[in-house]
Amino acid sequence: MSTPYEPYLLTADGTADFGALRRYEERGGWAAARRAVTEMTPAEVIGLVKAAGLRGRGGAGFPAGVKWGFVPPPDRVPGPRYLVVNADESEPGTFKDQALLETDPHLTLEGAVIAAYAIGAETIYIYIRGEMPAEARILQEAIHEAYGAGHLGAGLYDTATRMDVTVHRGAGAYICGEETALLTSLEGGRGYPRIKPPFPAFSGLFGQPTIINNVETLANVPAIVNRGVAWFRSMGTEQSPGGKIFSLSGHLKRPGNYEAPLGIGLLTLLHDPRYGAGPWQERPFKAVIPGGSSVPVLRADELDVRMDFESLQAAGTMLGSGGVIAMDESVDMVEVLYNLARFYHHESCGQCTPCREGTGWTARILRRFHENRGREEDLALLLDIADQMMGKTICPLADALAMPVKSHVTKFPDEFRRHMGGEIPRYVPPSSWAVG
């Protein structure tokens, strides 16, 4: 970066309770929605976001403009279109959407209005985690303000466009962050993912064309409309343009959300005093999960990587949601994996056998290790189960455990061998308490 990075996502000061609209408008807020709706065609908005190269910030990294472009024209599929905001943030280690909604609800709302306009939707549903009642209230208040100011409702900006928003609270289920499970849940069912195709862009919510976008993805859109493609592409990398909120947690002096250009060094995020500021108790890092709990873990000697989609893929892991979990040398990787296995077993919806059974088997084998009763053959067994889970299910939840299993077992085999009746060093994570 020749010029210093200027944040455009986390720009609000403090929480957004009352008067959020006035403060947002003072920072130039809602000008992009007005401009998109009154001066641009939907196709132009899609073209702009495509050209900017904005990739989904929820985990998969799919280009947002391309996704919007999948919505078929009304003569092919008639009836309403829906824009669904995925605010069901629940990937362990990720808390960026929570911050965006708490501090600046109008930013996401504005992005959602622009996206809805682009795909021809007049109805927006915001599916927010049940565990975020405060953020749901803040959003509701912001929506009320936006209706009052003419940013939502009928005759939007004196055009024929109409825009309605409904906040829909989830009720505690990680799987509902998966976009098709989210749709099933929004329709009033158990949160079961659906087989694709049909893709939601064709047949989604209530059987109608639907686009689901993550909160942070939408929060990028107003700035792209305001400042253009060249500005957006001046940050980040060729394949991963723009800025990103990185959620830092675990053994850091300054855990928290930090906005930085994509492609920033992981070591910078971990050590720079502006970001993580190094290990909290001066013990060196042992391992770092770079993109939320589902992605392969990196060893201490693998941390010299750039935080963008392509670099992390080349390093054998993923950017995912950008949730960086740092672990120092006091951590026992067996306990880390046991904690994650328990999580995914708890959150498996149970539809697909490889996931329902595989997450349970994995958790039970790891419990054996936790109780210092691991066996040498269990290492191969864990890898075999992970292979049986990868890519064999409707949604990626099975992969989300299989990838950590493979990376933990292959990168830290000696730690597992210490749990075969030998002397186990002191560990940090509390899996013994957490079971049940």
Partner 1 sequence: MSLAFSERARAEIDRLLARYPTRGAATLPVLRVAEREFGGIDDDVMVLVADTLDLSPAQVRGVFSFYTHLRRPGWGKYVLQVCATLSCALRGCEGLADHLEARLGIRAGQTTPDRRFTLLKVECLARCGESPVLQVNDDMYVNVTPAKADAILESLP
**Which residues in this chain contact partner 1 in the complex, by CB under 8 A?**
80, 89-95, 97-98, 129-134, 164, 166, 168-174, 185-191, 206, 247-251, 255-257, 289, 293, 323, 325, 327, 331, 336, 339-340, 343, 346-347, 349, 428-434, 436
Q: How far is the CB of 254 from partner 1 (least distance, A)?
A: 9
* Distance in Å, CB of 52 to partner 1, minimum: 27
**Contact indicator for 125, 88 with CB cutoff of 8 Å:** no
Q: How far is the CB of 321 from partner 1 (least distance, A)?
A: 11
Nearer to partner 1, 164 or 302 (CB): 164
Which of 36/334 has CB closer to partner 1? 334
How open is the CA angle 123-125-131, to the nearest 5 degrees? 165
Q: Would strands 243-250 and 210-214 be described as parallel, antiparallel, or unpaired?
A: unpaired
Four-point Cα dihedral 31, 229, 103, 42, nearest 10: 50
Closer of 241 and 429 to partner 1 (Cβ): 429
List strand residue ranges (DSSP E) for 276-349, in order. 285-289, 298-299, 323-328
Taking the least distance from each CB to partner 1, the nearer of 43 and 300 is 300
CB of 344 to partner 1, least distance (A): 10
Q: Nearest-CA neighbor of 107 among 207, 212, 31, 18?
A: 31
In whole angstroms, the minimum distance from the beta carbon of 246 to partner 1 comes to 10
Minimum gap (Å) between residue 280 Cβ and partner 1? 9
Count how many residues are written for the chain. Answer: 436
Q: Compute the distance between CA of residue 35 and CA of residue 147 in angstroms, rounded to an integer.
A: 17
Min dist. Cβ of residue 54 to partner 1 (A)? 23
Residue-by-residue DSSP string for 143-205: HHHHHHTTSSBSSGGGSS--BEEEEEE--S-GGGGSHHHHHHHHTTS------SSSPTTTS-G
* Cα–Cα distances in angstroms (integers) from residue 433 to residues 79, 330, 338, 370, 372, in the given order: 51, 18, 12, 12, 16
Nearer to partner 1, 232 or 285 (CB): 285
CB closer to partner 1, 222 vs 320: 320
> Of 232 and 338, which has the nearer Cβ to partner 1?
338
